[in-house]
Structure 1
Amino acid sequence: MPSLTVPSIPHYTLPPITKENLDYADLPIIDLSKADTSEGRAALARQVCDAMTNQGFFYIINHGLSPAQSERIFDIADVPFAQVDDEEKQKYAGTMKQTGSYQGYKLRQYWHVDGGVRDQIENYNINRDVNKRQHPEAVRPLLPEISQLMALGLELPEDTLVNMHGFDTVGESYVRFMKYYPRSEEDELNSKNVWLKGHTDFGTITILYSQPVSALQIFGLDGRWRWIKHIENALVVNAGDAMEFLSGGFYRGTIHRVVQPPIDQRTYTRLSAFYFAMPDDNVKLAPLLDSPVLQRVGIKRRFEDGADVPTVEQWRKARTSAYGQSELKTSEKDKDVEEEFINGVLVKHYN
């Protein structure tokens, strides 16, 4: 993390929080300062387990990062966008559709959103291998702690999930800096104010630095979309497909989307910083059958019986190359849902 010798870069000033009265999701808050004792860890494991089986989203506080360190992350996150010109961005553009790998830039208008509207989002993605590119390391130490808590919820050894995320093995865990730019009124109308369709992430967990521009929403069990509230210097964690597959449906890959911000924030760009955790490429996405919990509650399979369970590499490449590029079919059950089959799994996108 930052020291006295860090490079000087422009400071990114985060926008003010919205004053609108939004319908916020009631998410658990995990206080990592309580993880110092076995009793505290057990209590946190129960709290995380409950969050992952219900909402699939939760906040983390007292994670060891100071407010100044979090501010520095946003300063760094803005550099690939504000300090790099369009010509140089093209040189480092990613080849997601061809390779199924989110590395380098995802430039604007790469994804189709809806109604002929293409996105106004820039990504810069950096592989977890620090020898390939320089990137912030602040979130990396958190992954083992979060994974341990989730493993405890399944009543498995604490290192079960950690061992699937080897930083020195072949895999695609990565840091993402993401910048959303305001859109035209015509694009908002044609896309029904949706900036990024409702979807599940395809890794195990996603860690997001909380930021003030309200746009992220989750789809609740009651069928309603609710906003994610900003908590100063908090991290927001959610589960993805790989976690749902490995836990036999016990933990939920939560559906979330990004929409147009409230009126008092619509002139601002929205800068985000993420860590997407993926198991090693050779891990089979089959349920962890040794879990006593799964033996008690049963397994909800996403793969058809007899289907060849994909590896992490197969799943991430298929999801990455298809997103925003493939032809989707409207669901027969819900006109606001579009569907596609990837590796024998029904994947839904919510408008």
Structure 2
Amino acid sequence: MPSATTPFAPSYLAPTPTMIELDYVDLAVIDLSKAGTEEGRLALATQVRDALRSIGFFYVIGHGYSAEQNARIFDIADVPFAHTTEDEKREYVAKMKQTGSFQGYKPKNYWHIDNGVHDEIENYAMNRNVTLRTHPKPLRPFLPEIAEFAKFNHLNVLHEILRLLALGLELPEDTFVRLHGFETIGESYIRFMKYFPHAEEDEKRSGGLWLKGHTDMGSITILWNQPVSALQLLCPDKKWRWIKYIPNSLVVNIGDAMEYLTGGAYKATIHRVVQPPEDQRNRARLGVFYFAMTDDNVRLSPNSLGASSRLVGQAVAGEDAPTMEEWRKARTSAYGTSALKKEEGASVETELIKGLVVTHYN
């Protein structure tokens, strides 16, 4: 709850979790409160490594953020959507195609989904250093809290997970941490994201797809779990299964950058967003994310690790591996707007970015 000195934010009333029995994926639950000892970290590292090799996602609990703090950040997350005028949103629209950055607003209908249907998603993204640009007036009173939230995600969650990832590959514990500085130049960022229901006709044309299957471009994605069921991941048996809501938990997955850094030892995980179940069908889905990327100058190759391990694979792109800055700009500029090549007899589409094949799943 906000204190006497905390600015007022209208309460965001979260939807009730679905009562419909869905085909949920069974994910490992990583309790970060156990990472305080060497024994605990080693046990968690094995658990994380096994989770990423088998499924590619895991839950995090014991992260140190209270239920009250969680509710507060969702109150703040709704401000750029429910409490900001359309004129002001247009003033802060992100120039993704030109700059290769998500900072600012992404309006609805920017990304193509399928069969001529475009997205109904609004984003507001801000670098972990919230002072790098100005923000809409309704959001400005909350910038100190957002800055602290970004710092918490980066130092208390991301760095702890990166240590576990390194230990899981028998690498020095700080191997990935030193590539993800908090004060360095990079684009790790907070994203508030609101998915709105599609028109019935568009739901039919897109098969209920809200965001086509994809991998994330960065190293680690941290999703603050919320009650609207819509996120699915592609399991090893090629079936899409739902992610379950666990209050005050995080959902973590690996992105392209980590796959390239580890030579495929940790693979980017394929996920999508679909129309929620019937008892949640008319509610918007509010998301809070921390998208982590390495420092901009890091080349996405195992050579950047500064250490070797029998568990790390070979460079995916050889000596021509892009830097993080090159990769994020190219993928951000192209995402949802570039022409995709349909693969014969398969429900996938591909594009070539920086010499690497990027696959999208319908």
Letter in 2 for 1:7: P
Gaps of 5+ in 1: none
Q: Is the contact between residue 217 and residue 225 of structure 1 (CA under 8 Å) also seen in structure 2?
A: yes
Give, in whole Å, the separation in 2 of the partners of 1:271 and 1:21.
Answer: 22
Structure 2 equivalent of residue 347 of structure 1: 358
1:257-306 C-alpha deviation (Å, 9 max, x unpaired): 000000000110000000000001100000247332336xx43x532x5x
In 2, Cα distance between the equivalents of 1:163 and 1:4?
Answer: 38
Match of 2:136 in 1: none
Structure 1 residues 3 and 49: CA distance shift in structure 2, 3 A: farther
Q: Does residue 302 of the first structure (1) align with residue 316 of the second (2)?
A: yes
Are the equivalent residues in 1 in contact too, given 2:225–2:245 (CA < 8 A)? yes
- 1:169-180 alignment runs, 5 A limit: 169-180=184-195
Partner of residue 281, structure 1: 296
RMSD: 1.5
Provide the residue aligned with 1:225 in structure 2: 240
Deviation, structure 1 residue 144: 1.1
State the Cα distance separating 1:168 from its structure 2 match: 1.6
CA drift at 1:54: 1.9
Question: What letter matches 1:172 in structure 2?
Answer: E
Using the TM superposition, give the Cα deviation of residue 4 of structure 1 relative to its aligned residue in structure 2, in angstroms.
4.2
Provide the residue aligned with 2:310 in structure 1: 293
Identity of aligned residues (%): 61
> What is the distance in 2 between the residues matched to 1:137 and 1:125?
15
Question: Which residue is equivalent to 1:161?
Answer: 176
Asked whether 1:318 is paired with 2:330, we answer: yes
Matched residues in 2 for 1:185 and 1:273: separation?
26
Amino acid corresponding to residue 132 of structure 1 in structure 2: L
Using the TM superposition, give the Cα deviation of residue 167 of structure 1 relative to its aligned residue in structure 2, in angstroms. Answer: 1.7
Q: For residues 83-132 of structure 1, what are the alpha-carbon distances to aligned partners after superposition, in whole Å with 9 as ceiling and x for unaligned? A: 10100000000000111001000011111111111110000000011332
Q: Superposition pairs for residues 172-191 of structure 1, below 5 Å?
A: 172-191=187-206
Would you identify which runs of 4 or more consecutive aligned residues in structure 1 move more than 6 Å? none
1:338 to 334, 346, 349: 349
Deviation digits for residues 51-88 of structure 1 (CA, Å, limit 9, x no counterpart)? 12221110001111111110111001000001101000
Partners of 2:204 and 2:323 lie apart in 1 by 39
Q: 1:65, 1:143 → 2: CA distance?
A: 14
C-alpha distance in 1, partners of 2:330/2:3?
Answer: 40
SS of equivalent to 2:132: coil
Aligned twin of 1:238: 253
> Which whole-Å CA distance do the structure 2 matches of 1:203 and 1:2 have between them?
32
C-alpha distance in 2, partners of 1:87/1:44? 48
Distance 1:30 1:7, change over 3 A: same
Deviation string 1:160-203 (CA, Å, 9 cap, x unpaired) is 11111112221110000000011111111111110000000010
Deviation string 1:196-221 (CA, Å, 9 cap, x unpaired) is: 00000010000011000000000011
In structure 2, the partner of 1:23 is 23
Equivalent position SS for 1:292: coil
How many angstroms apart in 2 are the aligned matches of 1:124 and 1:293?
41
Cα separation, 2, equivalents of 1:63 and 1:174: 19
Aligned to 2:90: 90
State how far apart, in whole Å, the 2-side matches of 1:58 and 1:291 are. 26
8 Å Cα contact 1:73/1:136 also seen in 2? no
Describe the SS at the equivalent of 1:183: coil
Residues 19-73 of structure 1 deviation map (CA, whole Å, 9 limit, x = unaligned):
1110001110001121121111110011111112221110001111111110111
How big is the shift at 1:158? 1.4
How many residues align? The count is 345
Deviation at 1:2, TM superposition (A): 5.7
Q: Is the 8 A contact 2:111 2:118 kept in 1?
A: yes
Residue 314 of structure 2 is aligned to residue 268 of structure 1: no
Which piece of structure 1 moves more, 314-323 or 324-333? 324-333
Structure 2 vs 1, CA of residues 79 and 344 (structure 1 numbering), >3 Å: closer, same or farther? same
Task: Report SS of the residue matched to 1:293.
Answer: coil
User: If each structure's helix is expressed as a fraction of its own residues, which one has the higher value?
Assistant: 2
